[in-house]
Amino acid sequence: MAFFIVAGWAVAMSRLGWWGIFAETWPISLTMVFGSFIAGATAEGGGAVAFPVFTKLFGIDARDARIFAFMIQSFGMTMAALVIWLRGIRVLWNVVGVGVAAGVVGLLLGENLLALPDPYPKLVFTVTALVFGGFLVVNRWWIDDTPLRALRLDRPLVVVPILVTGFVGGLISSVVGVGLDMMIFIVLTLLLGIDEKVSTPTTVVMMGLLSLAGFAWHLQLPGSISGEVWGYWMSCIPIVIFGAPLGAWFCQRISRDQLIGLLLVLIAVEFVTTLWVVPIGSLETVVLLGVVGVTTVLFALLIRGRGKLRRLDPNPGDHDGYRPA
C-alpha cells in the first residue's frame, strides 16, 4: 500500500512540477516527522503537534492548520490503522463504530455552527490534557484496579458516555483538528478502566476515520483548501505514511508504563510549548483556571463512576469479550 501511495505521489509531484516546494516547506515536513510518529504511538494525534507549531512558529492561519491536520491525518493515521489491523493489534472495534459515528455528527455540526475565538480552543484542549495527565498517574499508580482489554456495549451506562464523548470530541476536532482521540482515551481510561495499550490503538483508528470525514467535508467546499495547504500536504505525505505506522508499531513494543510515561512527557511538552507560543492575559488565565476546576471535578467523577460500574458488574472477566488484562 505504501509503495502505491508513494508512486502516485511521485507522479503527481512530477506532473504538477512541485518538487521545488521542499525548499520552502522542509520545516513543515520536519515537523511531521515527529508529529506522525506521535499520531501513531499515542492518543495525542499529529494535529496536536502541527497546530501550535504551524500557527505560531510558521505563522500559518489557524483554519489552514486545522484543515491540514485533517488532510495529513487522513493518510498517516489511516496507514497506522491499517498496520494495527494487519498485525492483529487489539482494538475495541465496537467503540470505534459508536464513537466515530457520534464524532462525525459533532464534526459537521462544529464545522457549520461552532466558532470559538483564538487562542481559547487550543488553550482549553491543552489544559484539559494536562489535568488528565495528573489523573493518569493517579489511575495507574494509586488505584488498585486491573485494567480491561475488551468492552461490551450492551448497557446505556457504557454506550451513552462513548456517544457523548465522541460527539464532544468531534466538536473539538472541528476547531483544532484533533480531540476525538484524546477525549475517548480519557473516558476509556478513567471511566471504563481499559488498558492504555488497548485504548491507544483504538483512538488512533478513530482519529484516522474522523480525519477522513473532515478531509472529505472540506473537499466538497469550493475554495476551502488553499493552494498553500495542498503544497504543505504534498510535501508531508511520504513522511507520514511511514511515520505513523512506525509509531503504532512502537506503541506495541513498549510496556504499559512506558506508554504512559511517553504520553505524560508529550502532554508536558505540549503544555510548555503552548504557554510559549500563545499569549495569555488575565482573561485567558481566568478561563484556564476555570477549565482546571471543571476538568478536575469531571475526571474525579469518571473514576468514581468506574467503581459504580464495577459494582453493577462485579465479575467482568466472566463475560465473553469483556475480560481483565
pLDDT-derived band at 95 (thresholds 50, 70, 90) equals very high
Indicate the pLDDT class of residue 117, thresholds 50, 70 and 90. confident
What does DSSP assign to residue 191?
I
pTM of the entire predicted model: 0.90
Helix 22-41, helix 196-219: angle, nearest 10: 140
Q: Looking at the predicted structure, is the pLDDT value of residue 322 above 60?
A: no
Q: Please write the tens of the pLDDT for every residue from 255-291.
A: 989 999 998 988 888 788 777 777 788 888 898 899 9
pLDDT-based confidence at residue 323 (cuts at 50, 70, 90):
very low
pLDDT at 188 (0 to 100): 95
- Whether residue 210 is predicted with pLDDT greater than 50 in this model: the reply is yes
Handedness of CA 57, 261, 126, 67 (dihedral sign): positive
Which sequence spans correspond to the domains of the chain? 2-14+22-318
SS3 (DSSP) at 194: strand
Rounded CA-CA distance 320/193 in Å is 17
User: What's the confidence (pLDDT) of residue 205?
Assistant: 95
What is the pLDDT, as a whole number, of residue 161?
A: 94
Q: What pLDDT sits at residue 316?
A: 56
Query: Model confidence over 1-40: pLDDT tens digits?
Result: 777 888 888 999 898 888 888 888 888 888 888 888 888 8
Q: Mention every residue, 6+ apart, whose C-beta is less than 8 A from residue 80.
A: 39, 40, 204, 208, 244, 245, 247, 248
Share of residues in the chain with pLDDT > 70 (%): 92
Q: What is the pLDDT of residue 314?
A: 62
**Phi-psi map region of 147: left, alpha, beta (phi>0 left; psi -120 to 50 alpha):** beta
- The pLDDT value given to residue 320: 46
SS3 state at 324? strand
The pLDDT of residue 156 is above 80: yes
Contact 39, 76 (CB under 8 A): yes
Q: Using CB atoms within 10 Å of the CB of residue 123, give its burial: 0 to 12 exposed, 13 to 18 middle, 19+ buried.
A: buried
> What number of residues does the chain have?
325
Q: Is the peptide bond before 238 cis (omega within 30 degrees of 0)?
A: no
Contact 299, 293 (CB under 8 A): no
pLDDT band at 46, cuts 50/70/90?
low
120-141 confidence digits (pLDDT tens): 777 888 888 899 999 999 988 8
